[in-house]
Amino acid sequence: MTSVLHIVVFYADAGGGHRATAEALREILEATGRFRVTLLNPYRELIPHLDLMTRLTGHSGEDFYNNVVLRKGRTELLCWLFYLLLKINYIACGPRTVRLVTEEFDRLRPDIALSAMPMANDVIVQALARHRSGLSGQSADPQAVVLMTDWSELSRGVWLPRQGVYHAICGTAESRAQARRVPALDATRVHPLTGLLIRPEFVAAAVRPAPAETLGLDPDRPVVTVLYGAQGSDRMLALARTLIHVPHTAQIVFLCGRNAALAAALRAEDFPYSAQIVEFTDRVPDYLACSDLFVGKPGPGSVSEALALGLPVLLDRRMALPQEMAILKHVQRQGLGQAFSSMKEFRRGFTRHLAAHPPDHACETPPPNRSTEEIAGILAAIHAGHPPKSGATA
Q: Are 236 and 164 within one domain? A: no
Looking at the structure, tell me whether residues 134 and 233 fall in a common domain.
Answer: no
Q: Give yes or no: residues 224 and 194 share one domain.
A: no
Q: Are residues 153 and 277 in the same domain?
A: no
Q: Is there a single domain that holds both residue 114 and residue 260? A: no
Residue 333 within any structural domain of the chain: yes
pLDDT computed for residue 364 by the predictor? 61
Angle at 28 between CA 26 and CA 38, to 5 degrees: 15
Per the domain annotation, does 363 fall within a domain?
no
Does 72 map to a domain?
Answer: yes
Residue 364 lies in a domain: no
d(CA 3, CA 187): 28
Q: Domain check: are 233 and 300 in the same one? A: yes
Does residue 362 belong to any structural domain of this protein? no
The pLDDT of residue 141: 85
347 and 206 within one domain: yes
Q: What is the pLDDT of residue 366?
A: 72
- pTM (2 decimals)? 0.90
The verdict on 333 and 207 lying in the same domain is yes
Into how many domains does the chain fold?
2
Residues of the chain with pLDDT under 50: 1, 360-362, 390-391, 393-394
| pLDDT reported for residue 361 | 47
What is the per-residue pLDDT for 354? 84
Nearest Cα residue to 65 out of 44, 81, 82? 82
pLDDT tens profile 109-137: 999 999 999 999 999 999 999 999 888 66
Whole-number Cα distances in Å, 380 to 91, 127, 183, 186, 377: 33, 22, 24, 19, 5
Q: Is 393 among the domain residues?
A: no
Q: Which residues form the domain of 210?
A: 200-353
Verify that 32 and 120 share a domain, yes or no: yes
Report yes or no on 83 lying in a domain.
yes
Burial environment of residue 114 by CB neighbours within 10 A (0 to 12, 13 to 18, 19 or more): buried
The per-residue pLDDT for 73 is: 73
Q: pLDDT at position 135, please?
A: 83
Same domain, 23 and 57: yes
3-class secondary structure per residue, the chain: CCCCEEEEEECCCCCCHHHHHHHHHHHHHHHCCCEEEEEECHHHHCCHHHCHHHHHHCCCHHHHHHHHHHCCCCCCHHHHHHHHHHHHHHHHHHHHHHHHHHHHHHHHCCCEEEECCCCCHHHHHHHHHHHHHCCCCCCCCCEEEEECCCCCCCCCCCCCCCCCCCEEEECCHHHHHHHCCCCCCCHHHEEECCCCCCCHHHHHHHHCCCCHHHHCCCCCCCEEEEECCCCCCCHHHHHHHHHHHCCCCCEEEEEEECCHHHHHHHHCCCCCCCEEEEECCCCHHHHHHCCCEEEECCCHHHHHHHHHCCCCEEEEHHHCCHHHHHHHHHHHHCCCEEEECCHHHHHHHHHHHCCCCCCCCCCCCCCCCCHHHHHHHHHHHHHHCCCCCCCCCC
Residue 277 lies in a domain: yes
Return the CATH number at 68. Answer: 3.40.50.2000
CA atoms 236, 219, 338, 116: torsion sign: positive
Question: Same domain for 39 and 182?
Answer: yes
Domain co-membership, 194 together with 226 = no
